Amino acid sequence: MPRMNAEHIRPLFDLPRDLAYLNCAYMGPMPKSAAAAGQAAYDQRQRPWQLGVQDAFFDQPEALRAEAAKLFGTESDNIALVPAASYGLATAARNLDLSADQEILILAEQFPSNVYVWREAAARSGAKLTTVARSANQSWTDAVLQAIGPKTAIAALPEVHWADGGVVDLVSVADGLRAQGARLVLDLTQSLGTAPFDISAIRPDFAVSAGYKWLLGPYTLGYLYVAPEHQNGQSLEESWIVRDGAEDFARLVEYADRYAAGARKFDMGERSGFQLVAPALTALEWLNGIGLENLAPALRDRTRAIETAVRPLNLYCDTPDRAAHYLCLVLPDTAPSDLAARLAKRGVSVSQRGDRLRVTPHLYTDDVDIDRFANAVRAELT
Protein backbone atom coordinates (compact mmCIF):
# COMPACT_ATOMS: atom_id res chain seq x y z
CA MET A 1 0.00 0.00 0.00
CA PRO A 2 1.51 3.38 -1.00
CA ARG A 3 2.24 5.92 1.72
CA MET A 4 -0.81 8.13 1.81
CA ASN A 5 -0.39 10.23 4.93
CA ALA A 6 -0.69 13.94 4.22
CA GLU A 7 2.82 14.26 5.66
CA HIS A 8 4.15 12.23 2.71
CA ILE A 9 1.82 13.60 0.08
CA ARG A 10 1.93 17.31 0.85
CA PRO A 11 5.60 17.81 -0.19
CA LEU A 12 4.68 16.48 -3.64
CA PHE A 13 2.55 19.62 -4.16
CA ASP A 14 3.44 23.29 -4.15
CA LEU A 15 1.07 24.20 -1.31
CA PRO A 16 2.04 27.09 0.96
CA ARG A 17 1.81 26.37 4.69
CA ASP A 18 -0.34 29.43 5.32
CA LEU A 19 -3.09 28.28 2.94
CA ALA A 20 -5.67 25.53 3.45
CA TYR A 21 -6.51 24.55 -0.12
CA LEU A 22 -9.87 22.79 0.18
CA ASN A 23 -11.05 23.43 -3.35
CA CYS A 24 -10.21 20.40 -5.49
CA ALA A 25 -13.74 20.42 -6.96
CA TYR A 26 -12.89 23.85 -8.40
CA MET A 27 -9.41 22.97 -9.63
CA GLY A 28 -6.99 20.30 -8.45
CA PRO A 29 -3.40 21.46 -7.95
CA MET A 30 -1.04 19.67 -10.32
CA PRO A 31 1.62 17.66 -8.50
CA LYS A 32 5.11 19.20 -8.79
CA SER A 33 6.17 16.25 -10.94
CA ALA A 34 3.35 16.94 -13.42
CA ALA A 35 4.19 20.64 -13.63
CA ALA A 36 7.85 19.70 -14.26
CA ALA A 37 6.81 17.36 -17.07
CA GLY A 38 4.78 20.19 -18.63
CA GLN A 39 7.69 22.59 -18.31
CA ALA A 40 10.02 20.07 -19.93
CA ALA A 41 7.55 19.71 -22.81
CA TYR A 42 7.51 23.49 -23.33
CA ASP A 43 11.27 23.57 -23.11
CA GLN A 44 11.49 20.93 -25.79
CA ARG A 45 9.16 23.00 -28.05
CA GLN A 46 12.04 25.42 -28.53
CA ARG A 47 13.79 22.67 -30.46
CA PRO A 48 11.24 20.93 -32.71
CA TRP A 49 14.00 19.00 -34.47
CA GLN A 50 14.51 17.03 -31.27
CA LEU A 51 10.90 15.91 -31.06
CA GLY A 52 10.57 12.18 -31.67
CA VAL A 53 7.60 11.94 -34.01
CA GLN A 54 6.45 8.45 -33.03
CA ASP A 55 6.91 9.15 -29.35
CA ALA A 56 5.42 12.64 -29.14
CA PHE A 57 2.56 12.30 -31.61
CA PHE A 58 1.55 8.71 -30.94
CA ASP A 59 3.19 6.85 -28.03
CA GLN A 60 2.70 9.49 -25.33
CA PRO A 61 -1.00 10.05 -26.14
CA GLU A 62 -1.42 6.25 -26.14
CA ALA A 63 0.25 5.99 -22.75
CA LEU A 64 -2.14 8.68 -21.50
CA ARG A 65 -5.13 6.88 -22.99
CA ALA A 66 -4.07 3.73 -21.15
CA GLU A 67 -3.83 5.55 -17.79
CA ALA A 68 -7.21 7.21 -18.35
CA ALA A 69 -8.72 3.83 -19.26
CA LYS A 70 -7.66 2.47 -15.85
CA LEU A 71 -9.69 5.20 -14.14
CA PHE A 72 -12.80 4.17 -16.05
CA GLY A 73 -12.04 0.47 -15.52
CA THR A 74 -11.90 -0.18 -19.26
CA GLU A 75 -9.45 -0.68 -22.15
CA SER A 76 -7.61 2.04 -24.04
CA ASP A 77 -9.67 1.29 -27.13
CA ASN A 78 -12.75 2.79 -25.47
CA ILE A 79 -11.17 6.13 -24.58
CA ALA A 80 -10.91 9.37 -26.59
CA LEU A 81 -8.84 12.42 -25.65
CA VAL A 82 -11.03 15.53 -25.55
CA PRO A 83 -10.50 19.14 -24.49
CA ALA A 84 -13.49 19.55 -22.18
CA ALA A 85 -16.47 17.79 -20.66
CA SER A 86 -18.69 19.82 -23.01
CA TYR A 87 -16.89 18.34 -26.02
CA GLY A 88 -17.51 14.78 -24.83
CA LEU A 89 -21.14 15.53 -24.08
CA ALA A 90 -21.60 17.08 -27.53
CA THR A 91 -20.14 13.89 -29.02
CA ALA A 92 -22.72 11.88 -27.08
CA ALA A 93 -25.61 14.12 -28.16
CA ARG A 94 -24.54 13.84 -31.77
CA ASN A 95 -24.68 10.05 -31.65
CA LEU A 96 -27.89 9.31 -29.78
CA ASP A 97 -31.31 9.23 -31.42
CA LEU A 98 -34.14 11.32 -30.05
CA SER A 99 -37.69 11.82 -31.23
CA ALA A 100 -40.35 14.36 -30.41
CA ASP A 101 -42.32 12.06 -28.10
CA GLN A 102 -39.29 11.25 -25.93
CA GLU A 103 -37.58 12.94 -23.02
CA ILE A 104 -34.10 13.60 -21.68
CA LEU A 105 -33.51 13.58 -17.92
CA ILE A 106 -31.08 15.92 -16.20
CA LEU A 107 -30.71 16.94 -12.54
CA ALA A 108 -31.77 20.28 -11.10
CA GLU A 109 -28.84 22.71 -10.97
CA GLN A 110 -26.62 20.32 -12.88
CA PHE A 111 -23.35 21.72 -14.22
CA PRO A 112 -24.11 23.72 -17.42
CA SER A 113 -21.83 21.65 -19.71
CA ASN A 114 -24.32 18.82 -19.22
CA VAL A 115 -27.38 21.05 -19.67
CA TYR A 116 -26.96 23.36 -22.67
CA VAL A 117 -26.16 20.54 -25.08
CA TRP A 118 -29.39 18.75 -24.10
CA ARG A 119 -31.45 21.93 -24.38
CA GLU A 120 -30.16 22.18 -27.91
CA ALA A 121 -30.83 18.48 -28.64
CA ALA A 122 -34.37 18.88 -27.27
CA ALA A 123 -34.99 22.00 -29.36
CA ARG A 124 -33.73 20.24 -32.49
CA SER A 125 -35.73 17.02 -32.04
CA GLY A 126 -38.83 18.30 -30.26
CA ALA A 127 -38.03 16.02 -27.30
CA LYS A 128 -38.76 17.22 -23.79
CA LEU A 129 -36.00 18.14 -21.37
CA THR A 130 -37.09 17.06 -17.90
CA THR A 131 -35.29 18.43 -14.85
CA VAL A 132 -35.30 16.07 -11.88
CA ALA A 133 -35.40 17.82 -8.51
CA ARG A 134 -34.94 16.07 -5.18
CA SER A 135 -36.91 16.91 -2.07
CA ALA A 136 -35.15 17.45 1.27
CA ASN A 137 -33.81 14.14 2.58
CA GLN A 138 -34.40 12.46 -0.76
CA SER A 139 -31.34 11.04 -2.49
CA TRP A 140 -30.62 11.89 -6.12
CA THR A 141 -30.84 8.17 -6.82
CA ASP A 142 -34.44 7.95 -5.59
CA ALA A 143 -35.40 11.13 -7.43
CA VAL A 144 -33.98 9.82 -10.73
CA LEU A 145 -35.47 6.33 -10.31
CA GLN A 146 -38.88 7.94 -9.79
CA ALA A 147 -38.50 10.07 -12.91
CA ILE A 148 -37.51 7.27 -15.33
CA GLY A 149 -40.44 6.22 -17.49
CA PRO A 150 -41.37 4.83 -20.91
CA LYS A 151 -40.66 8.19 -22.58
CA THR A 152 -37.13 8.44 -21.20
CA ALA A 153 -34.68 8.19 -24.08
CA ILE A 154 -31.52 9.60 -22.45
CA ALA A 155 -30.46 10.36 -18.90
CA ALA A 156 -27.55 12.81 -18.83
CA LEU A 157 -26.26 12.68 -15.29
CA PRO A 158 -23.28 13.19 -13.02
CA GLU A 159 -22.17 10.59 -10.48
CA VAL A 160 -21.75 13.32 -7.86
CA HIS A 161 -23.76 16.56 -7.95
CA TRP A 162 -21.25 19.40 -8.19
CA ALA A 163 -23.16 21.73 -5.83
CA ASP A 164 -24.39 19.46 -3.00
CA GLY A 165 -22.04 16.47 -3.26
CA GLY A 166 -24.91 13.96 -3.45
CA VAL A 167 -24.16 10.64 -5.15
CA VAL A 168 -26.27 9.13 -7.90
CA ASP A 169 -26.14 5.35 -7.52
CA LEU A 170 -25.35 4.68 -11.14
CA VAL A 171 -25.72 0.92 -10.93
CA SER A 172 -29.40 1.11 -9.97
CA VAL A 173 -30.12 4.08 -12.23
CA ALA A 174 -28.50 2.28 -15.19
CA ASP A 175 -30.64 -0.80 -14.48
CA GLY A 176 -33.77 1.37 -14.40
CA LEU A 177 -32.82 3.02 -17.69
CA ARG A 178 -32.00 -0.24 -19.42
CA ALA A 179 -35.40 -1.61 -18.45
CA GLN A 180 -36.90 1.26 -20.51
CA GLY A 181 -34.41 0.94 -23.36
CA ALA A 182 -32.97 4.36 -22.45
CA ARG A 183 -29.38 5.61 -22.85
CA LEU A 184 -27.01 6.80 -20.13
CA VAL A 185 -24.58 9.69 -20.62
CA LEU A 186 -22.33 10.60 -17.70
CA ASP A 187 -20.36 13.63 -16.67
CA LEU A 188 -17.89 12.15 -14.19
CA THR A 189 -15.87 15.35 -13.72
CA GLN A 190 -16.63 15.49 -9.99
CA SER A 191 -16.00 11.82 -9.27
CA LEU A 192 -13.61 10.07 -11.67
CA GLY A 193 -10.26 9.50 -9.99
CA THR A 194 -11.63 9.49 -6.44
CA ALA A 195 -12.93 5.92 -6.28
CA PRO A 196 -13.16 2.84 -8.52
CA PHE A 197 -15.74 3.16 -11.30
CA ASP A 198 -17.76 -0.01 -11.87
CA ILE A 199 -18.09 0.20 -15.62
CA SER A 200 -19.19 -3.40 -16.13
CA ALA A 201 -22.20 -2.91 -13.85
CA ILE A 202 -23.06 0.63 -15.08
CA ARG A 203 -22.41 0.17 -18.80
CA PRO A 204 -22.87 3.83 -19.81
CA ASP A 205 -23.18 4.80 -23.46
CA PHE A 206 -20.82 7.75 -23.06
CA ALA A 207 -18.95 9.03 -19.99
CA VAL A 208 -16.65 12.03 -19.84
CA SER A 209 -14.46 13.76 -17.30
CA ALA A 210 -12.59 17.03 -17.44
CA GLY A 211 -8.99 16.43 -16.34
CA TYR A 212 -8.18 19.48 -14.24
CA LYS A 213 -10.01 18.73 -11.00
CA TRP A 214 -9.73 15.36 -9.25
CA LEU A 215 -7.41 14.13 -12.00
CA LEU A 216 -4.87 16.82 -11.03
CA GLY A 217 -3.98 17.52 -14.64
CA PRO A 218 -3.68 20.56 -16.88
CA TYR A 219 -6.67 22.57 -18.07
CA THR A 220 -8.06 21.67 -21.54
CA LEU A 221 -7.51 17.92 -21.55
CA GLY A 222 -10.17 15.43 -20.56
CA TYR A 223 -11.26 11.86 -21.28
CA LEU A 224 -14.27 10.39 -23.02
CA TYR A 225 -15.43 6.80 -22.71
CA VAL A 226 -17.38 5.62 -25.75
CA ALA A 227 -19.14 2.26 -25.47
CA PRO A 228 -18.12 -0.13 -28.25
CA GLU A 229 -21.59 -0.02 -29.84
CA HIS A 230 -21.17 3.72 -30.54
CA GLN A 231 -17.63 3.60 -31.88
CA ASN A 232 -18.80 3.67 -35.48
CA GLY A 233 -20.60 6.94 -34.77
CA GLN A 234 -19.75 10.44 -35.91
CA SER A 235 -16.97 12.51 -34.39
CA LEU A 236 -17.31 16.27 -33.99
CA GLU A 237 -14.30 16.91 -36.20
CA GLU A 238 -12.29 14.98 -38.74
CA SER A 239 -8.78 14.99 -37.37
CA TRP A 240 -6.13 13.63 -39.75
CA ILE A 241 -4.13 11.92 -37.02
CA VAL A 242 -6.88 9.41 -36.21
CA ARG A 243 -6.93 8.06 -39.76
CA ASP A 244 -5.19 4.89 -40.82
CA GLY A 245 -1.56 5.43 -41.77
CA ALA A 246 -1.22 8.83 -40.06
CA GLU A 247 2.14 7.70 -38.64
CA ASP A 248 3.70 8.18 -42.05
CA PHE A 249 3.85 11.97 -42.39
CA ALA A 250 5.22 11.71 -45.92
CA ARG A 251 2.03 10.04 -47.17
CA LEU A 252 -0.75 11.96 -45.47
CA VAL A 253 -2.30 12.94 -48.79
CA GLU A 254 -2.91 9.30 -49.56
CA TYR A 255 -6.19 9.99 -47.83
CA ALA A 256 -7.53 7.10 -45.82
CA ASP A 257 -11.16 6.21 -45.18
CA ARG A 258 -10.45 4.03 -42.19
CA TYR A 259 -10.05 5.36 -38.68
CA ALA A 260 -7.67 4.22 -35.97
CA ALA A 261 -9.25 1.56 -33.79
CA GLY A 262 -11.98 2.01 -31.20
CA ALA A 263 -12.85 5.38 -29.73
CA ARG A 264 -9.71 7.08 -31.12
CA LYS A 265 -11.74 8.56 -33.97
CA PHE A 266 -13.39 10.82 -31.36
CA ASP A 267 -10.05 12.36 -30.29
CA MET A 268 -9.95 16.13 -30.56
CA GLY A 269 -7.77 17.76 -33.20
CA GLU A 270 -4.13 18.13 -32.10
CA ARG A 271 -4.76 15.60 -29.36
CA SER A 272 -1.02 15.02 -29.02
CA GLY A 273 -0.65 18.49 -27.38
CA PHE A 274 2.76 17.79 -25.86
CA GLN A 275 2.54 20.39 -23.11
CA LEU A 276 -0.78 18.91 -21.96
CA VAL A 277 -0.18 15.22 -22.48
CA ALA A 278 3.10 15.14 -20.53
CA PRO A 279 1.75 16.58 -17.25
CA ALA A 280 -1.57 14.75 -17.57
CA LEU A 281 0.26 11.46 -17.97
CA THR A 282 2.44 12.13 -14.93
CA ALA A 283 -0.58 13.04 -12.81
CA LEU A 284 -2.61 10.00 -13.84
CA GLU A 285 0.33 7.64 -13.32
CA TRP A 286 0.61 9.04 -9.81
CA LEU A 287 -3.10 8.58 -9.08
CA ASN A 288 -3.17 5.07 -10.52
CA GLY A 289 -0.03 4.27 -8.54
CA ILE A 290 -1.92 5.10 -5.36
CA GLY A 291 -4.87 3.06 -6.55
CA LEU A 292 -8.48 4.20 -6.69
CA GLU A 293 -9.46 1.59 -4.11
CA ASN A 294 -7.07 3.24 -1.62
CA LEU A 295 -8.09 6.80 -2.48
CA ALA A 296 -11.78 6.58 -1.59
CA PRO A 297 -11.31 5.63 2.10
CA ALA A 298 -8.46 8.12 2.50
CA LEU A 299 -10.58 10.95 1.08
CA ARG A 300 -13.50 9.93 3.28
CA ASP A 301 -11.20 10.21 6.32
CA ARG A 302 -10.31 13.78 5.33
CA THR A 303 -13.89 14.94 4.79
CA ARG A 304 -15.01 13.26 8.03
CA ALA A 305 -12.27 15.03 9.96
CA ILE A 306 -13.45 18.36 8.52
CA GLU A 307 -17.07 17.53 9.37
CA THR A 308 -16.08 16.77 12.95
CA ALA A 309 -14.05 19.97 13.25
CA VAL A 310 -17.00 22.23 12.33
CA ARG A 311 -19.79 20.34 14.10
CA PRO A 312 -19.47 22.53 17.24
CA LEU A 313 -20.28 25.50 14.96
CA ASN A 314 -23.55 23.81 14.02
CA LEU A 315 -22.36 23.39 10.44
CA TYR A 316 -23.34 20.12 8.84
CA CYS A 317 -23.92 18.42 5.52
CA ASP A 318 -27.60 17.63 4.86
CA THR A 319 -27.08 15.82 1.55
CA PRO A 320 -28.26 12.21 1.65
CA ASP A 321 -25.54 9.85 0.33
CA ARG A 322 -22.79 12.43 0.19
CA ALA A 323 -19.71 11.43 -1.78
CA ALA A 324 -16.67 10.39 0.23
CA HIS A 325 -14.51 13.21 -1.14
CA TYR A 326 -17.10 15.98 -1.09
CA LEU A 327 -18.45 17.99 1.83
CA CYS A 328 -21.13 20.60 1.21
CA LEU A 329 -22.01 22.40 4.43
CA VAL A 330 -25.38 24.11 4.83
CA LEU A 331 -24.82 27.75 5.71
CA PRO A 332 -27.01 29.53 8.25
CA ASP A 333 -29.21 32.38 6.92
CA THR A 334 -26.97 34.81 8.75
CA ALA A 335 -23.85 33.77 6.80
CA PRO A 336 -22.37 36.61 4.72
CA SER A 337 -22.94 36.18 0.98
CA ASP A 338 -19.21 36.73 0.42
CA LEU A 339 -18.15 34.10 2.95
CA ALA A 340 -15.77 32.33 0.54
CA ALA A 341 -14.00 35.64 -0.20
CA ARG A 342 -13.70 36.35 3.54
CA LEU A 343 -12.29 32.87 4.17
CA ALA A 344 -9.78 33.41 1.36
CA LYS A 345 -8.45 36.42 3.29
CA ARG A 346 -7.87 34.05 6.20
CA GLY A 347 -5.90 31.63 4.02
CA VAL A 348 -8.71 29.18 3.29
CA SER A 349 -9.73 28.30 -0.25
CA VAL A 350 -13.24 26.80 -0.59
CA SER A 351 -16.21 27.50 -2.88
CA GLN A 352 -19.67 28.84 -2.13
CA ARG A 353 -22.37 27.21 -4.27
CA GLY A 354 -25.84 28.59 -3.49
CA ASP A 355 -26.46 28.31 0.26
CA ARG A 356 -23.71 25.75 0.71
CA LEU A 357 -20.01 25.90 1.37
CA ARG A 358 -18.25 23.32 -0.80
CA VAL A 359 -15.21 21.89 0.94
CA THR A 360 -13.17 19.48 -1.15
CA PRO A 361 -9.84 18.27 0.26
CA HIS A 362 -7.38 15.79 -1.21
CA LEU A 363 -4.66 13.56 0.14
CA TYR A 364 -2.43 16.58 0.82
CA THR A 365 -4.94 17.99 3.33
CA ASP A 366 -3.61 17.67 6.88
CA ASP A 367 -4.73 18.55 10.42
CA VAL A 368 -3.14 22.00 10.18
CA ASP A 369 -5.36 22.77 7.16
CA ILE A 370 -8.42 21.45 8.95
CA ASP A 371 -7.72 23.57 12.07
CA ARG A 372 -7.17 26.62 9.89
CA PHE A 373 -10.48 26.03 8.15
CA ALA A 374 -12.42 25.52 11.39
CA ASN A 375 -10.85 28.61 13.00
CA ALA A 376 -11.54 30.79 9.96
CA VAL A 377 -15.17 29.66 9.74
CA ARG A 378 -15.61 30.25 13.50
CA ALA A 379 -14.21 33.76 13.17
CA GLU A 380 -16.56 34.62 10.29
CA LEU A 381 -19.74 33.00 11.52
CA THR A 382 -19.75 33.63 15.25
Q: Which residues bind to ligand PLP, rule: CB under 6 A?
A: 84-86, 111, 113, 158, 162, 187, 189-190, 210, 222
CA distances 275 to 4, 218, 239, Å, are 28, 9, 19
Radius of gyration over alpha carbons of the chain, in Å?
22
- 359 or 370: CB nearest ligand PLP: 359
Q: Is the CB of 57 or the CB of 162 nearer to ligand PLP?
A: 162
Q: Please identify, using beta-carbon distances, which residue of 143 and 160 lies nearer to ligand PLP.
A: 160
CB of 170 vs ligand PLP, minimal distance in Å: 14
Task: Between 23 and 78, name the residue whose CB sits nearer to ligand PLP.
Answer: 23
Taking the complex as a whole, the smallest distance from the CB of residue 100 to ligand PLP amounts, in Å, to 28
CB closer to ligand PLP, 162 vs 206: 162
Q: Which is nearer to ligand PLP, 107 or 377 (CB)?
A: 107
| Least gap, CB of 297 to ligand PLP (angstroms) | 23
Q: How far is the CB of 164 from ligand PLP (least distance, A)?
A: 12
Q: 24 exposed, middle or buried (CB, 10 Å; 0-12, 13-18, 19+)? A: buried
Length of the chain: 382
Quote the least distance from Cβ 276 to ligand PLP, whole Å.
Answer: 13
Cβ at position 347, least distance to ligand PLP in Å: 23
Cα–Cα distance for residue pair 299/63, rounded to 1 Å = 27
Return the number of the residue (157 or 278) whose C-beta is nearest ligand PLP: 157
Q: In the bound complex, what is the minimum distance in angstroms from residue 321's beta carbon to ligand PLP? A: 17
